[in-house]
A and B are shown apart, each in its own frame.
Chain A
Amino acid sequence: ISCVSWLYQKIEDSFFLVIGTKTCGYFLQNAMGVMIFSEPRYAMAELEEGDISAKLNDYEELKRLCLQIKKDRNPSVIFWIGTCTTEIIKMDLEGIAPKLEAEIKITIVVARANGLDYAFTQGEDTVLAAMAQRCPEYKEKAISLSGDPKEETKHPPLILFGSLPDPVANQLIFELKKQGIKVSGWLPSKRYTELPAISEGNYVCGVNPFLSRTATTLMRRRRTKLIGAPFPIGPDGTRAWIEKICSVFGIQPVGLEEREKQIWESLEGYLKLIANKSVFFMGDNLLEISLARFLIRCGMVVHEIGIPYMDKRYQGGELLLLEKTCQEMGVSIPSIVEKPDNYKQLERIRTLQPDLVITGMAHANPLEARGINTK
């Protein structure tokens, strides 16, 4: 459910209602730190014992809350974030939502982002997958993100998915534009009311490695074609990502090699620092493969890539690039550990003594106290 913290900022006209217990509330409150004091557009619907034993009427209760949100904040959309508890008591959020939506005239999107099924960033995946189903059909003219509606495109519409800070997103759009590729839409959009149009036969491409459900939804439900590229993380990844998109559209990329070289050169100072140092990923957010690939290219040695969940199909392009990178750098492919056992990992860390351990905050201070650098 932590995805709420960045998604509500990304989608400006949204409101997130997390339907769960005190545990979820406490978690959000702590995870978001100061942000919770800036009147965020999210709230908890805290379930009480009565809700659990179904003495209360779920529908009425949610209606009351949503009406209040509508009155106070007037968002374009309310996201209902299902949690472990709604899952276990089998609260039929998907069933209630359409009825309530019709009654109180406000869009409600249901996403399950509980700890039973998902880890950390996967929450965004469930939200985007739910949004993907709400995107309008592609009509004659789509909104042009590049600003020039008359601009000719020689390729079918391309929609990118994955939430990124605006400057980063604009940068990627710009890079593609240089290759003559137009981005017709982005999921999520800045406002819910500006969801990109998607129709059968469109091309879609992910920018984050943890969006496999969204990808599947876009392919199966919206009949789009997925461009399975490595992810634009690091100059090597970004180049491979653009190249892949170009190749799908039959475009000969120009100036990419130069561009990549420039960036590597500007990194010279950092590269010297990390060359030949070793790194260990304990794993918690699914960015691990791409980051490892990038660091190997930087000249580091990767001991282990821990990852909470591995979708070999969606991350296929990335895995290939990892393999290729290892070959070119003359190192063996690190072991990828899915759903790692932290206790055993700590034992391995103790024996390997890596120069850097990339880990969560529960382990960082204790590792530092044992003389191991962490990030």
Chain B
Amino acid sequence: AGPAHIGTLRIASSFKNVHAIMHAPLGDDYFNVMKSMLERERGFTPVTASIVDRHVLARGSQEKVVNNITRKDIEEQPDLIVLTPTCTSSILQEDLQNFVNRASLESKADVILADVNHYRVNELQAADRTLEQIITFYIDKAKKYGTISNNKTKNPSVNIIGSSCLGFHNQHDMSELKRLFADLGIEINLIIPEGSSVNQLKNLTQAWFNFVPYRETGLMTANYLKKEFNMPYIDISPIGIIEITAFIRKLEKILLDQGHECSFEDYITLQTKFVSQSSWFSRSIDCQNLTGKKAVVFGDATHAAAITKILSKEMGIHVAWAGTYCKYDEQWFKEEVKDLCDNVVITEDNALIADLIAKTEPAAIFGTQMERHIGKRLNIPCGVISSPVHIQNFPLSYKPFMGYEGTNQIADLVYNSFTLGMEDHLI
């Protein structure tokens, strides 16, 4: 995972009309290049830098940060400006909060300082925290002005929390989830942060429940809303048939608890049998060829755990080890995959993973772009299942990982990785 400020920027620039100002040296506005290239973004990325140079080192940022904030306020008229610290500002130890207080007096936009410390958290944790911070800020504001919605929507509804830019197949997942919820008769109240406006946040409380598709970003917000408004949430990622089923059953229970009569069992059966090809695929002769084949899995916690479950429970593949770089989520990850693989690996060290792969000699790897390159070197096929990713992982065609269509995509991905390996071997 990348440095903390990347996480903050991903959240801030996913909202509509929110501008981020980084307190950083020249060169650290590299985020804009990534966003513009990887997402082939048409708009200008709403991120600017308040440059830290020699001058700032000697005399402090002083007016500079404040001026940059008020200037952006006038130029772009955003709803919110997020001042984003970087590693450099972490050690300068300037009182950025003070600048924010001063700037917010002068500007129309709300101004907050992202509460992330470069040396304590990484990109994903920072994204999680920043989202929570923004939500808390606007909920508090709404409470103060009495504009918060106290009523639930008439029909069951959900907030999807944590959909953001530069996420792995995020946009496709969102389309698939919308479809899934529509099938189940559940309205979407808000999707945050991607595409929503901070002015809508006061309506978050109208939803019947919250849903966090990726556990890396959104759990903090979901917990906050649970504590504050007693809103239940689901944190099961609907990736793979078994998990989708668990997800829908949990959802059913939440609705029943709130007095809404419903039963989704028929839907699950129908989808599993007819829409998703993957359970039939698992039984077909092709897939039986894969039984017992050796694979390894590595990625963020959400995807690595989900793929491990699919490989082992749905396809009968032997997962030699499964791992994640989300060190801070170690416990959850271990719990999820402990019976599904021989070993669990928790590390951020790419070289260690490379060594392990070489030692294990799996028939296929499921990992990030890093593992794909290791695979190339060792001549082992690799399916990319998680960030960090390259531009190829922002495909133009529809490729969700979640929901029933996602199961088809994953089955193809898994199958193609293995057959390629077999063919190679035969040749």
A, B co-complexed = yes
Q: Give chain A interface residues in 98-124, CB to chain B under 8 Å.
A: 114-120
- At the interface, yes or no: B27 with Cβ under 8 Å from chain A? yes
Partner of A365, one of B41, B48, B120: B41
Knowing A21-B87, A22-B118, A37-B373, the reply to whether A116 touches B57 (Cβ < 8 A) is yes
Taken together as a complex, chains A and B put the C-alpha atoms of A364 and B35 apart, in Å, by: 11
Instruction: Please state if B36 and A84 are interface contacts (CB–CB under 8 Å).
Output: no
Task: Please tell me if A138 contacts chain B, counting CB pairs below 8 Å.
Answer: no
Contact with A along B1-31 (1 / 0, CB 8 A): 0110110000000000000000011111110
For the complex, is A40 an interface residue (Cβ under 8 Å from B)? no
A116-B36 CB under 8 A given contacts A27-B27, A27-B30, A343-B75? no
Measured between beta carbons, the chain A residues less than 8 angstroms from B24 are 115
The answer to whether A22 touches B87 (Cβ under 8 A) is: yes
Q: With CB as the reference atom, state the residue of chain A lying closest to B25.
A: A115
Q: Does A23 contact B (CB under 8 A)?
A: yes
A159 CA to B33 CA, complexed, in Å? 37
Looking at the complex, which one of A22, A361, A369 makes contact with B37 (CB distance below 8 Å)?
A361
Is A88 part of the binding interface, using a Cβ–Cβ cutoff of 8 Å? yes
A366 interfacial contact with B, CB 8 Å: yes
Q: Assess the A115–B28 pair: CB atoms within 8 A.
A: yes
Note all chain A residues with C-beta closer than 8 A to B57.
87-88, 116
Q: Which residues of A contact B374 (CB under 8 A)?
A: 37
Point out the residue from B6, B32, B92 that lies within 8 Å of A88, measured CB to CB: B92
Chain A contact residues (Cβ within 8 angstroms of B): what range?
A: 35 or more
A369 CB contact (under 8 Å) in B26, B29, B42, B119: B42
Min Cβ gap B335→A in Å is 28
- Nearest-neighbour CB distance to chain A for B60, whole angstroms, equals 12
**Complex-state Cα separation, A37 to B36, whole angstroms:** 23
Contacts of B227 in A (CB 8 A): none
A114: chain B residues at CB < 8 Å are 25
Inter-chain contact A23/B26, CB cutoff 8 Å:
no
Cα–Cα, bound, A1→B87 (Å): 16
Please report the C-alpha to C-alpha distance between residue A118 and residue B53 in the assembled complex, in whole angstroms. Answer: 9
B25 contacts A84, CB within 8 Å?
A: yes
Is A31 part of the binding interface, using a Cβ–Cβ cutoff of 8 Å? yes
Give 1 or 0 for each of A18-52: 1 = CB within 8 Å of chain B CB: 00011100110011011001000000000011001
A85 located at the interface, meaning its Cβ lies under 8 Å from any Cβ of chain B in the complex: yes
| Given A30-B34, A37-B373, A116-B26: A52 touches B119 (CB 8 Å cut-off) | yes
Nearest Cβ on chain A to B256's Cβ, whole angstroms: 46
Q: Could you tell me the distance between the alpha carbons of A37 and B370 in the complex, rounded to whole angstroms?
A: 8
Contact B32 A23 (CB under 8 A): no
B189 within 8 Å of A by Cβ? no
Of residues 349 through 404 on chain B, the ones whose CB sits less than 8 Å from some CB of chain A are 370, 373-374, 376-377, 390
**Chain B 68-106 interface mask (CB, 8 Å, partner A; 1/0):** 000000010000000000111011100000000000000
B145 CB-CB contact with A under 8 Å: no
With A21-B87, A34-B373, A364-B36 already in contact, the answer to whether A115 and B42 are too (CB < 8 A) is no
Q: Which residues of B contact A34 (CB under 8 A)?
A: 373
Question: In A340-363, which residues have CB < 8 Å from any B CB?
Answer: 343, 346, 360-363
Known: A115-B26, A362-B29, A365-B37. A85 touches B54 (CB 8 A): no
In the complex, whether B43 has a CB less than 8 A from a CB of chain A is yes
Q: Are A84 and B88 in contact (CB under 8 A)?
A: yes
Instruction: State the Cβ distance, A154 to closest chain B Cβ, in Å.
Output: 46
Interface residue B109 (Cβ < 8 Å from any Cβ of A):
no
Given A26-B2, A37-B373, A117-B53, verify A88-B86 contact (CB < 8 Å).
no
B36 near A117 (CB under 8 angstroms)?
no
A360 to B86, CA, bound (A): 22
Identify the closest chain A residue to B377 (Cβ). A37
**Contact: B91 with A23, CB < 8 Å?**
no
B277 interface residue per 8 A CB criterion: no
A321 to B200, CA, bound (A): 58
Nearest residue (CB) in B for A21 is B87
In the bound complex, CA of A200 to CA of B30 (Å): 42
A26 to B29, CA, bound (A): 12
A27-B30, A343-B48 are known contacts. Are A49 and B119 too (CB-CB below 8 A)? yes
* Chain A proximity mask over B45-79: 1 for CB below 8 Å, otherwise 0: 10010001110010000000000000000010000
Is the CB–CB distance between A48 and B42 below 8 Å? Answer: no
In the assembly, what is the distance between CA of A97 and CA of B227, in Å? 54
**A49 with B92, Cβ < 8 A, contacts A30-B34, A119-B26, A361-B36 known:** no
The 8 A CB mask of B109-136 against A (1 = contact, 0 = none) is 0000000001110100000000000000
Which chain A residues border B75 with CB–CB below 8 Å? Answer: 343
Residue of A at shortest CB range from B40? A365
Knowing A362-B32, A362-B45, A365-B36 are in contact, say whether A117-B118 is a contact too (CB < 8 A): no
Q: Which residues of B are at the interface with A, using a C-beta cutoff of 8 A?
A: 2-3, 5-6, 24-30, 32-34, 36-37, 40-45, 48, 52-54, 57, 75, 86-88, 90-92, 118-120, 122, 370, 373-374, 376-377, 390
Extra contacts besides A37-B376, A52-B91, A116-B52 (4): CB < 8 Å: A23-B3, A37-B370, A361-B36, A366-B43
The 6 closest A-B pairs by CB, nearest first: A115-B25, A115-B27, A362-B32, A37-B373, A369-B42, A49-B119
Jot down 7 A-B pairs with beta carbons below 8 A, ordered by A: A22-B2, A31-B30, A88-B92, A116-B26, A116-B88, A346-B44, A365-B37
